[in-house]
Structures are given as structure tokens and as C-alpha cells.
Structure 1
Amino acid sequence: MLRLILILFLCGLLASCQYQRPEDARVQIQEIEGQARFTIDGQVHEIKGLAGHTHLQEAHSIGANTIRTYDTTGLQSILDSAHHFGLKVVAGIWLPKSHVPWLYKNEEQRVKLSKELAVLGRKYRDHPALLSWCLGNELIFYDLMDFDFSSTYNRLLDSLRSGDPEHPVGTAFANYGHKAILNFALKIRSLDYLIINTFGRLPKLSEDMNDLDFLWSKPFLIGEFGENGPWETEWTKWGAPLEPSSSQKAEITGRRFKELPREHPNFLGALFFNWGWRHEQTDTWFNVFSKDGERSALYYALAKQYGDSPVPEIPKIKNLKIDHGTNANDFWFESNQWHEAQLEIPESLNQDSLEIRWSIRTEDWFFLKADSPPPLPDLIEYASDRQKIRFKTPGKAGPFRLYVSIHDRSGHFAAANLPFYVVQ
């Protein structure tokens, strides 16, 4: 025990040797009227943020001013486009998780990456769109005795700063996880700020941070927030997460903005997730846009927060039912049996201008994939009223999901889905 206490003391002593950023650095994090703020050339940059790096013209149109990348792929082009549209960039640098040995236990790889980060910093230090760096995303640094990771990370941090002393450097955590925060506080010196990715725990963030304020109190940026993730929402009895409709998500987004800890003196701002399209459990869970670039109600929920833009008439979903029910835990079906599905939309929508698309896909147990499972063929019968269908359950047992989306002629869509399970 005495040895552990001594090690922790020495770690804390090393971590306390804070890096002093140049006073004339172009981008600073400063306390202004009791509140942490990014400043650029002495001017406050109040973040209106989006996590993602596509659809930059639309980001500018809704009043956003900051975006986030997760790696350096195409960074030059992203920075140039961001500058064109008046956006600043939190540039992500991908690193493997803390337990991965090919980097953190490999001196050759550590030397190689250290040199690359110094070059990277020098290359972009003068780019006008660069706001800050994020060195690693959710690295899961839980092992207090893992000195391979901490020594490597400090080395990489120093290398990046040697190339670019002009911009703050942070790293991203999944929620304000006390183990990871404690390890960084004790063993990682001189981060300028923290980035917190948080969804369901957003209302508890200030409370979580207060627990460790005595040890490590730094400015923080919320790097991701929005609808609860599939790992923290309600699940069916067979483990399928229940996804709100895109219309429900727009309402949830308004509440999430109200939950941001704006009164916390270290709060720098927030980036809404996900500005773009990606498959995570489903094709629609976090996405503001469809795969084809259509805009959902989330787009206008963000526009209201960042620019107070008017909302046009767009597709909306009131409800999706299977056999007149909405409780997915009741959806245990035998194989090769016919059932009905009903989509409810507001009566005010002009149905003649809408296209309604239905599909059935196998449940995707992998949160992150390049794309969703393909639609299963020959299972859906359409009626003249596309709001209702008959569908036949697949011939094999297992979890599936019924999807529906509505598309108008102006580039908007709404989407919903329900999981069901087939038994034999």
C-alpha cells in the first residue's frame, strides 16, 4: 500500500509539471468574466458546434461555427472548406485504445508516430480554420499501473506541441468516467482542456465533475451529445434497443440543449452528434442526414438552436405500429406468418407529395459498421394506402427490424423502426 501511495504521489508530481502555452499563441483558453472561453487572436469564439465534417455549407446555413473530425484523413481539404464557410475545426488525431500493444509497447512505432505528429503540427499550425486538437477519442485508460500508455501519450503530446504551440490540445472521454479521468489527472501532464462525449448522462455531468474537482479541474468541451445511444436506451427482452422516431429525436434535442451545463465556469461549449450520416446500430440512430443527404427534423431543431431559422413543412411521424400495437416486447412471431404494420402521420401533410418506403432487415448486433444489413426481399405487400402494409415474417428464427421512412420532394425525410423476433 505504501508503495502504491508513493507511486501515485510521484505521478501527481509529474502531472503537476504543467506545460505553459506561449502567451502570444493565436488560440487560447482564457477565463473571461468568470467563464472559460476559446479566444482567437484575442476575440472570444463562442462555440455553436457539430460533431462531424460533412455538409459544411449546411452547417454554415444553420448558424453553426465549429465542427469536429475524428482523424486526419483529408484534413487539408476539410480545413480549407471549413475556412471557406467560416467554420473552425476541432481536429481529431486517431490513437488506438490504451491497452493496444502495437503502439504503446513498441518503441519503433512510438518514435515513428512522435515524428509524424511533430510534422502534422508544423503543417497545420498556421491554418486559419484550426481551433484545437483532440489527441485520441475515448482511449479507455483505466489501468492505474499502465505506464506504457501514459509515457507514450506524454511523448506524443510533447511532439505535437513541438510542431504546433499555437493551438490547445485535449483528449476525449466517454462520459466523465472517474477511472480514466483519475489516471489522466495523475499521469498525463499538461492537457489544455477535456472533451467529454456524453448522451444519457448529460444531466448528471456537473455532478460527476464535482466529485473530482479537488484533483483536476480543467476547461471542458462537450464533444458529443444528443439522443441516448443504443447502449443506454430501453431494450427489448432479447436485447434489441428501441430507437425513437426522427420526429421524437427533434423534440429530445431541444431538451438536451437545455441540459447543457452553461453555468459551469469551465464549460467551453458543445458539439451535437452526429452531423452527417453513419451506421450505428441502425441507419438513422444519430444522423441528421440520410445516406442520400436528405435532412431530418433534427436539422431544423439545430437550426433553431444556432440560428433561430424557420421550420418548413417537413415529413413527420406520429406513430408506427405492428398489428395495432407499439410494445416491441409483444412482437414474438412465428416464422412465415403474415402481420400488419401501420404508419401514422399528421393529417396536415400532403400525402400526394410523399414517398413512403418500407423494409425488413436482420437485427444488427454490431454498433459500428460501414452499412446496415440489406433489406430482405419478398416479405412486404403494399396496399393502395402506403401507410399500411402486410408483411411476412422471415423463414428463419432470430431478431429482425421493420423500417419505414417518408420522403418529400424538397430533400427531407422522417424515419422510424420497430424490432421483432421470429421463433420456430
Structure 2
Amino acid sequence: MSTLQESHGKWTLLVDGKPYFVKGVTFGIAYTQKNIDLYMDQLVHLGCNTVRTWGVGADTQMLMDSAQRHGIKVMLGLWLRHGKAGMEGDDAFDWVNDTAGREAQWTDTLEAVRKYKDDPALLMWGVGNEVILNIGTEKAKIAYAKFLEKLCLAIKKIDPNHLIASASAWTVDAAYWAKYDPAIDVYGLNVYGAGAAVVDKAVEKLGVDKPYLLTEFGAQGEWEVPKDSNGLPIEPSDQEKYSTIATGWTKWVENKPTCLGGFVFNFGNGWDHGAVWLSLMMKDYKRPMYWATLKAFTGKSPAVKPVMITQYEIQKNSAKPGDWVPISVATSGPSSGLQVSMYFNDRTGVREHRDAIFPLKIKGNLSSGIDFQVPKILGVLKIYVFISDEQKNLAIAQKSFVVTDGSGKVLTAAKKSGVLPLVVYDDDPRITGVEEPFVASGMMGNYDSLTLDLGSTDHPEDGQTCLKVSYNAYVGWVGCAWQTPANNWGTMPGGYNLTGAKTLSFWARGTTGEEKVSFGYGMIDSNAKYYDSSKKGTGDFYLTRHWKKYTIDLSGQNMSNIITGFYFFTSSNGVPVTFYLDDIEYN
């Protein structure tokens, strides 16, 4: 049983009547019956007493059982869908109109509560993660917040013995909880960097008397750091990441009277851009954040000092594909048995590509010097140097670097050059499992009144679903652009080389035959740092009530770099507008 106790402004979490301060990690690692106990052993060594998950699945019971064997509690996540594409994924649930979808989430959530409410490892429920942040319109945010309150009350009725938390990015969601969700017992706040020092004051300003947990905590993330001269977010150094956790925990977490503890992000084992930035491990190599967590929770340091990179420079600011470029790098810690490798990240294109890190060819060694060969991708890249020691510690440093064609103009290059047809939309990606190359992120005009339903089953032209566009206003105009990466208006590298494409085709239909629309591709002019190599549109016309195929001829167009893969505009003249799209593709 988990309860709360408050005395003179000091909040205490009680587990079975005893004080319990959460020393946790987010548990984002893939596990099996063979390795789950090994991971739990590591967490016990780190001084961890709690793990947090984001949702439940087929292997949740395995996690709960192992946690119980190791004396670890679980803040069990109950996932609720997001209303627009964001850091978490590309879902776009309609919280206002999708009654069936809300009912499905209600049913699934309460089924999970009934299944795990009596599990001895359960600490509390974590209902939803940054959902309001990832909803587009105010109407939808309020609809979700009201749903959340009803859901929390239903959970309490089934399980009165465990507290309920929800997780917010900073206090974005919490501002709505304060107004609509009194049933939430503990405010979960995802806070990175020194923001943890003042987030308690931000909660106070909401006018609620609630304790909080840092449901995610670590070094400043990509979304909140300044950018370098090449436009890439400046990633904190390994030393800064270590210090944020090891020192920040004592200064910003343990000494706050309304804080119940927190979760270091993230106990993972991936091998990608996000893992480099925030994961405690990468393929079983221990990152400095792993040892920082040990320091934070126990005050201890590793028996053998791990390797750390103290200096890293790329000796040129830019070069052409195939060139060899020298670097300088220095380390502290062990001086023998070190292994060096280099990788790059191209932070553009579809999620799978922009999150990946790709190996670089290198020559030389730490003693004589190291060079890397510039990859055959134009644009701004992040160049990493990885150095591991014999104890399987991994130090990483990174710098931005420009790959140029020699003209002096920064270009971007294809991620799927020549792969045609390139599908912008054909079926709800949540059904197909295929991540689409462009994101419907470029909102224009009166977009608070715009709803996009990627999974409409209202008579699709082909397949299981079509795309429903609803402009729920009586005046004004609205538009949406499909971009790569999301929200790219020419400030970030990105784009696809669609050289060889002859047409951009799509199917469309209206509901009344009076919907005035225009469609096209390419919106970013060459005066931007990154731009569409061409653009073309249909001009204004009226849709019919029946499906009709439309084609934009690409003959003579420079298709070498398309950032804006598709767009539409529509306007209302006294009547809301609804129309449908399907099978948008380049051929």
C-alpha cells in the first residue's frame, strides 16, 4: 500500500506505513527471462529502489516478479495516446471526436489495473506521459484532461491502495491537472538539468498542495539546449552529464520538502542518438551516467576509474565526401587497453534514420593521431568519437561538422535516394507499422481549429484507412505541410532526393463538393539555410463528393532535395470544412 503524509509543508511517501524516498531509474531496456535478473542485480548495486515504466505489455509480469525478488518497487505506467507527433512518436489521436478510441483506452487501462493492483512490487500508477504537451488544440487538451480525471477516479475505485501519478514535461500538463484533475495524487514532472532546482517553485505557482516526483531526470535534453554555429543542438559533455546526476541529485532532489524522489533517465541499452545523450548503458558498456547514478544513490564511486574524454576537436570545419579529416582527442583514466571508433548522426529524415548512428572509417590510433573519412552525405552531421576501456566503460564526445559539395552552399542529401514510389500517406502508420517519410507538422493559419485523423475508416479510397481533414471554424484559413524533419521551415538539414520522380499523385474527396482547396509540395525558398530544391502546386479548386485522383507533373523539376513533401490549404466561408485524402505518393 502507498500513501502520503504531510506535516508542516513536508511531504513523505509511505509504503506499508514506512517512509520511502524514491531512488529510481526509468526502465527502458529490452529484457528476457535470461537477463532480467542480471539487470535487477545491477540496479541493486546502483542503490536503486524503484523503476518506472511507461506502459504494460506481455512481459510486464516478468518485470514485476523480478523486481519483487530484488526488493525493487515499480511505478507502473499506463500509456495514454498522444494527439500529435512529437518526441515520443508519431501518434495523432483525436481526443475530441474519437469516442471508440477513448473507450478502448479506458477498457485497456482498467484491465491492466485489475491485473496488477495486488502485485507486491507495485508502488503506484503512472497514468499517461506528457500527453497534454503532445496535443495540438486547446479543446483537445481539455477533453483529455477531463477524460484523465474520470479515469483516475475509476482506477481509485478498483484499487484504493495505490497512489496515482501522471507525468508532465516540466509543468505543461500539470497546469491542466491543477484545474481539471484533483484525483491525481502525485505530480510527475520530467525535468532535465538545473531546472530541477526550481521546479518546486513552478508547482507552487499552480496553487495546488501536491507533492511531486521527478519522473525523468538527467542532463539537459536536445529540445532545450542552445544550438552551435552549424545549427545543431549542443550536447552536454560526459563530464556535465555525470555532474548533473551525481551532484544535482543531492542539491536539487533530496533537499526539497515537496519532492518524493525521482527517476534517472534512462536505464537503457540502445545504440543510437538518444542513447548517446541519455542512456546509462549502450550495448552493456557503462556510460558515465551509470556511475553518476551510483554516486547519487549511494555516495560511492567505481573501484576502477573509468575512461573519460577530456578534449576533442575536429581539425577542419567542413570537407567534401571521401576526404580524410584529422581529429585531436585526449582522455583521463586508464591509458592502456583503450579502443577507439567513430560514428556520425544525420539528424534528418524519418525517425529511424535521424535517430541512427552510422560507423565511420578511421585510420591511426590515439598515440599517432586519428583521421576519419567524410561520409557521402551532404549537410550538417554530428561526428562522434567513442573510446572504451577494458572494464567496458564507454566515453563519448561529439562535434558538428559540415559536409559540402565544394560550392560553399550547405545542401542536404537524400536518405532514400531513388527509392520510388515514395509514399507520403496510404494507410494509418499505426496499422501498417511503416514510418512515413514526412511528418504532418507544419501548421499554418487558424490551426487550433484543425484536426487530422490519420486513421479514418470513413470509406477510404484504398486500404483500411484514409486521412480525414477537419477545419472546425466558420471563417479564416488553415494549412498543413508534411516536413522532414518535423517542424522544419528551413532551419534544419533534411529532405529527400527524389530525382527521377515523374509525378506526385493523391486521391481526394469532399463531403459537400464545395470545399475550396489547394495542394502541392515544396514551400521553403532558397533564401533559407536549408530549402526545397523545387516547388509546385495545384492552385485553388473545388473538390467533388467522390474520390478523384489528382496528379502534379514533375517534368523539369529539380527534385534533388525535397523537405516539404506535401501540403494543403483550405478556407471556410461560414461553414466548417471536412475533406479526405488517400494514397499520396511520388512515382
Match of 1:226 in 2: 218
Determine whether 1:187 maps to 2:180. Answer: yes
The 5 A counterparts of 1:64-143 are: 64-73=48-57, 74-98=59-83, 100-102=92-94, 104-140=96-132
- 2:203 pairs, out of 209, 221, 246, with 209
Q: Is the 8 A contact 2:230 2:400 kept in 1?
A: no
Tell me by how many angstroms 1:44 deviates: 1.1
| Structure 2 residue ranges without an equivalent (≥5) | 30-38, 85-91, 406-587
State the one-letter code of the partner of 1:95: L
Q: Contact conserved, 2:75 with 2:126, CA < 8 A, in 1?
A: yes
Instruction: Identify if the C-alpha distance between structure 1 residues 65 and 111 changes in structure 2 by more than 3 Å, giving closer, same or farther.
Output: same
Equivalent pair of 2:345/2:354 in contact (CA under 8 Å): no
| Counterpart in the other structure of 1:29 | 4
Which amino acid letter does the alignment assign opposite residue 59 of structure 1?
L
Deviations 1:215-257 (A, max 9, x none): x221111111110001122312332122233344213323322
Contact 1:37 1:44 in 2 (8 A): yes
| Structure holding more strand per residue | 2
**C-alpha distance in structure 2 between counterparts of 1:387 and 1:289, whole Å:** 29
The structure that has the greater radius of gyration is 2
Q: How does 1:16-415 map to 2 (within 5 A)?
A: 26-31=1-6, 34-52=9-27, 54=29, 55-73=39-57, 74-98=59-83, 100-102=92-94, 104-140=96-132, 145-146=139-140, 147-177=142-172, 180-200=173-193, 201-213=195-207, 216-278=208-270, 281-290=273-282, 292-311=283-302, 312-323=304-315, 331-346=317-332, 349-351=334-336, 353-359=337-343, 361-365=344-348, 369=352, 372-373=355-356, 375=358, 379-380=361-362, 382-385=363-366, 388-415=369-396
The aligned amino acid for 1:90 is M
How many angstroms does 1:181 deviate by?
Answer: 2.7
Report the CA distance between 1:122 and its aligned residue.
Answer: 1.7
Residue-by-residue CA offset, 1:64-111 (whole Å, 9 max, x unaligned) = 101100111222111111111111111111111256444553333333
Cα contact 1:403–1:416 (8 A) shared by 2: yes
| Alpha-carbon contact 1:56-1:85 (below 8 Å) kept | yes
Q: Give, in whole Å, the separation in 1 of the partners of 2:368 and 2:160.
A: 58
Runs of 4+ that moved beyond 6 A: none
Look up the equivalent residue of 2:14 and give its one-letter code: T
**Deviation at residue 182 of structure 1 after TM alignment:** 2.9
Give the Cα separation in 1 of the matches to 2:159 and 2:317: 56
Partner of 2:11, secondary structure, is strand
Cα distance between partner residues in 1 of 2:125 and 2:2: 11
Deviation at 1:29, TM superposition (A): 1.6
CA contact (8 A) 1:280 1:369 kept: no
Distance of aligned partners of 1:367 and 1:233 in 2 relative to their CA distance in 1, 3 Å threshold: farther
Please state whether the residue corresponding to 1:318 is helix, strand or coil: strand
CA displacement at 1:415 relative to structure 2: 1.4
Aligned-pair CA distance for 1:173: 0.7
Shift of 1:48: 1.2
Answer whether contact 1:144 1:183 (CA < 8 A) is retained: no
After TM superposition, the score normalised by the length of structure 2 is 0.60
1:33 Cα shift?
6.7
Q: Residue 203 of structure 1 aligns to which amino acid in structure 2?
A: A
The Cα of 1:151 is off from its aligned counterpart by: 3.2
Cα 1:310/1:255, change in 2 over 3 Å = closer
- Any idea what the Cα deviations from partners look like across 1:191-221, whole Å, max 9, x if unmatched? 11100001142233133223223xx221111
Q: What CA distance in whole angstroms lies between the structure 2 residues aligned with 1:308 and 1:387?
A: 38
Return closer, same or farther for 1:387/1:133 CA change in 2, 3 Å cut-off. farther
Alpha-carbon shift at residue 370 of structure 1 (Å) = 8.8
Shift of 1:120: 1.6
- The structure whose RCO (Cα within 8 Å, separation 6+) is larger is 1
8 Å CA contact 1:315–1:414 kept in 2: the answer is: yes
Question: Structure 1: 5+ residue runs without aligned partners?
Answer: 1-25, 324-329
What's the CA shift for 1:310?
A: 3.6
RMSD: 2.6
* Matched-pair contact (CA < 8 Å) for 2:220–2:236: no
Answer with 68-77 or 51-60: which moved more.
Answer: 51-60
- Write the distance in 1 (CA, Å) between the matches of 2:256 and 2:350: 32
2:24 and 2:131 map into 1 onto residues whose CA distance is 22
Among 393, 398, 405, the residue aligned to 1:417: 398
Residue identity matched to 2:262: A
Q: Greater CA deviation, 310-319 or 91-100? A: 91-100
- Do the aligned partners of residues 371 and 101 (structure 1) sit closer, same or farther apart at CA in structure 2, a change above 3 Å counting? closer
Q: Distance in 2 between matches of 1:393 and 1:105?
A: 50
The residue matched to 1:79 in structure 2 has which SS? helix
Larger displacement relative to structure 2 (311-320 or 96-105): 96-105
Report if the CA contact (8 A) 2:67-2:121 is conserved. Answer: yes
Give the whole-Å Cα distance in 1 for the aligned partners of 2:65 and 2:28.
Answer: 12
> How far apart, in 2, do the equivalents of 1:368 and 1:255 lie?
33
- Which residue identity lines up with residue 31 of structure 1 in the other structure? E
Distance 1:367 1:176 in 2: 29
CA offsets, 1:115-157, max 9 Å, x none? Answer: 3322221211111111001110001267554443233222322
